[in-house]
Amino acid sequence: MTAKNIYITGAEPRSGKSVVALGLMELLSSRTNRLGFFRPVIRDEGGPDPVIDLMRARYGLNTPYEAMYGYGYERARALLAHDRYDDLLKGVLEKFRSLLADCDHVICLGTDFSGVETPIELDFNADVANNLGCHVVPVVKGIDRDPEQVVRAATAFLYLLQDRGCDVLATVVNRVDAAHLDTTRTALAAELKGVPPWYLLPESASLAKPTMTDIAQALGAEQLYATPETLNREVTNFKVAAMLLPDFLDHVEAGSLVVTPGDRADIILGSLLSHPSRAYPQIAGLLLTGGIEPAAQVMQLIDGLGTVPVAVLSVASDTFNAAVNASTVAATLSPANERKLAAALGIIETSIDGEGLLQRIATTRSTRVTPLMFEYELIRRAREQRRHIVLPEGTEPRILQAAEILSLRDVAAVTLLGPPAQVRARIEELGLHLEEAAIIDPNHSDDLRRRFAQTYYDLRRHKGISREMAYDLMADVSYFGTMMVYHDIADGMVSGSVNTTQHTLRPALETIKTSPGAEIVSSVFFMCLPDRVVVFGDCAVNPNPDAHKLADIAINSARTAATFGVEPRIAMLSYSTGESGRGESVDKVRQATALVREQRPDLRIAGPIQYDAAVDASVARAKLPGDEVAGNATVFIFPDLNTGNNTYKAVQRAADALAIGPVLQGLNKPVNDLSRGCTVADVVNTVAITAIQARER
């Protein structure tokens, strides 16, 4: 996937992320009219987000406002307070994916470090960027920092993002003091070598100053007198008017916001008259405090001016608090302020190599699939073409709870096997709603049982099976469910939460058998690590495959990985890397690697290779330099069941990874096994996988 979606994030408040977002939107708007904008969390869900409003207005985005953000701060904080961090990420991902369908590129703007739990915001932004599949543009604040401090801040932020598995597209150091530009550039060039590129943006006094609109919106002020022109005036300083008018006038500076109680008629009228007289500096506006409206006679005098030269705002708070609050208001970009927008775009266009960045966006690729992305895609794809899955263990609570989730999310239609009275009693006991689920008792489904028995007899009589034996076997839920799949009554089967792997697989191996081109049935686990999903095979079925079977496992595992959105880069694991080792087991892996290259030259594969060289780029450079898979593998093929089963369980426990599987591959129709220690989520995911396999078949 190319870097079509970009996540802009800072490490602290007021880094100028909005300016960078505007510049990237402007840059990409020259290439497509299918442009999107998204924020994971906004400050006020009930009110407009100024940056979303800006992007919608300037770029003519027709997306509904509610579709352009994930949550408001209050809802996000509530989820965090109830330890529902994953639910927060899932909600953001779902909103974002809905937006993607109509866009060639989406620019995402991270949180502001002023609302969600600030200590975790850096981690939150990194997690969101990874789970949305975005490349990251970190924005580092340069204001009030010397070159050495800028370099430290930039390198620390980059290291933090890289440690969290983020793919960095480019780094922007914003708001750098003009006097330090050259020395900062030299210092950064010495520290940040190679790609990703970095850019310096100079500080702009105009962009840093809030306008009267910013003040009005931030303070919730009433606009007594205001026009678009007066509201766009920039506030460069704040003056609290506590003196008598003659003394106060000597303290007025250009761009002042005059803060005074609403009953100070002398200050109000003097400030307004000073503007057209040109005898005193031009103020930015008036902020009247205390919730006091000027006397009617004073208002009449102001009305008599015809055109009020500056904006006059009113707030309920006292003068001290109003002045403090106004002084903390940050500048924002507004669609109505063309001058400020032009200044922002001018800085971007003169400081960033637009063509170079566009080229990098077009060619930079990300192949990471995070666990949340993987799970979301499983459910989405399963829902696209709803399939029918049979669940033989119909009285098991985890199966029933998963069946309810599958029904509520419309993932698949399910049939439960077991005595209907027992199944319904367990459903009622658990307080579930499974009205749509079919329930079949193999012992009391004579027509199906006789039909399945005849089929089984026809398929297995050469093995000495009699009609009576076949009929008796069809009372077993695993055999009955498998025959439902064989006869296309169900599209797939999932079992194993109670039954053994052998009990689940034997009927399928005897009847459904292998698909064309597959030498054996094998398995994979989808290992959901904290920041990515990888594939382990075979960890459940084949005890000691020879070279030909190992090659078959590798090819089918690559096919399975690609089917579920994991780009296959195969590591054929052994205790030795490259040509250094000798021995029967490593020679088997070497031969299997050669067979895969011969049969599927399109697949990227490395082997024999040790696990550390397969996953760690620094080890890979030492042990297998120049190999495109080493250090970057996504599909890991183990030489035997002993190694594979132990390794997947070790990784599962040590890395706190979710292991989905075993997912069977090589069968004509999908049947999948569960671990007897599976969770409800495991069952849901495995059913979704089975439904997708059925669709792909």
Task: Tell me how far apart the alpha carbons of residues 492 and 64 are, in angstroms, rounded to a whole number.
Answer: 39
Instruction: Judge contact between 614 and 573, C-beta under 8 A.
Output: yes
pLDDT at 1: 44
Torsion angle of the four alpha carbons 114, 115, 121, 127, in this order, in degrees rounded to the nearest 10: -130
- Give Cα 226 to chain centroid, integer Å: 42
d(CA 174, CA 189): 16
Q: Percent of the chain scored above 90 by pLDDT?
A: 55
Is pLDDT above 60 for 606?
yes
pLDDT at 695: 87
Question: Mean pLDDT score of the chain, rounded to an integer?
Answer: 89
What is the distance between the alpha carbons of residues 472 and 481, in angstroms, rounded to a whole number? 14
C-alpha distances out from residue 493 to 106, 325, 490, 500, Å? 39, 63, 7, 15
End-to-end CA distance of the chain: 25
Averaged pLDDT for residues 363-380? 76
Query: For residues 150 and 184, is the Cβ–Cβ distance under 8 A?
Result: yes
626 class by beta-carbon count within 10 Å (0-12 exposed, 13-18 middle, 19+ buried): exposed
Q: What is the pLDDT of residues 672-688, one digit of tens each?
A: 999 888 888 889 999 99
How is residue 320 written in tokens?
Answer: 């001290």
CB 80 within 8 A of CB 88: yes
Q: Are 457 and 450 in contact (CB under 8 A)?
A: no
Q: Which among 405, 435, 432, 689 has a CA at the least distance from the CA of 566? A: 689
Percent of the chain whose predicted confidence (pLDDT) is above 70: 97
Strand order in the sheet with 35-42: 69-72, 35-42, 105-109, 5-10, 135-141, 171-176, 198-202
pLDDT at 426 over 90: yes
pLDDT at residue 679, as a whole number: 87
522-528 sheet: strands from edge to edge: 604-609, 569-573, 635-637, 533-537, 522-528, 658-665
pTM of the model: 0.69
CB 685 within 8 A of CB 380: no
- Judged by DSSP in three states, 223 sits in strand
Tally of residues, the chain: 697
- Residue-wise pLDDT for 285-311, tens only, equals 999 999 999 999 999 998 888 888 899
Name the residue type at position 112.
D
pLDDT in tens, 516-575: 878 889 999 999 887 788 999 999 889 999 999 999 999 999 999 998 889 999 999 999
Q: What is the pLDDT of residue 650?
A: 92
Instruction: Indicate whether 24 pLDDT > 50.
Output: yes
Average the pLDDT over 125-149 and give the result.
92
Mean pLDDT over residues 480-501, rounded?
94
Tens-digit pLDDT profile for residues 156-199: 999 888 888 888 999 999 999 988 999 999 999 888 876 689 99
Report the pLDDT value the prediction gives residue 31, as an integer from 0 to 100.
81
- Go through the domains of the chain in sequence order and give each one's CATH number: 5-206+340-366 (3.40.50.300), 212-330 (3.40.1390.20), 367-513+667-697 (3.40.50.10950), 517-666 (3.40.50.10750)
pLDDT of res. 119: 63
Euclidean distance between CA atoms 312 and 314, whole angstroms: 7
Residue 693, pLDDT score: 92
Per 3-state DSSP, the chain is made up of helix, strand and coil in percentages (nearest 5) of 50, 20, 35
Give the CA distances from residue 668 to residues 509, 518, 520, in Å, rounded to whole numbers and listed in that order.
10, 9, 11
* Count of CB atoms situated within 10 Å of the CB of 47: 11
Lowest mean pLDDT among 97-106, 109-118, 307-316, 585-594: 109-118
Residues 461-479, mean pLDDT to the nearest whole number = 93
pLDDT category, 273, cuts 50, 70, 90?
confident
Which pLDDT score, from 0 to 100, does residue 482 have? 96
Q: Kindly state the average pLDDT of the residues 502-521.
A: 88
Cα(582)–Cα(290) distance, rounded to whole angstroms? Answer: 86
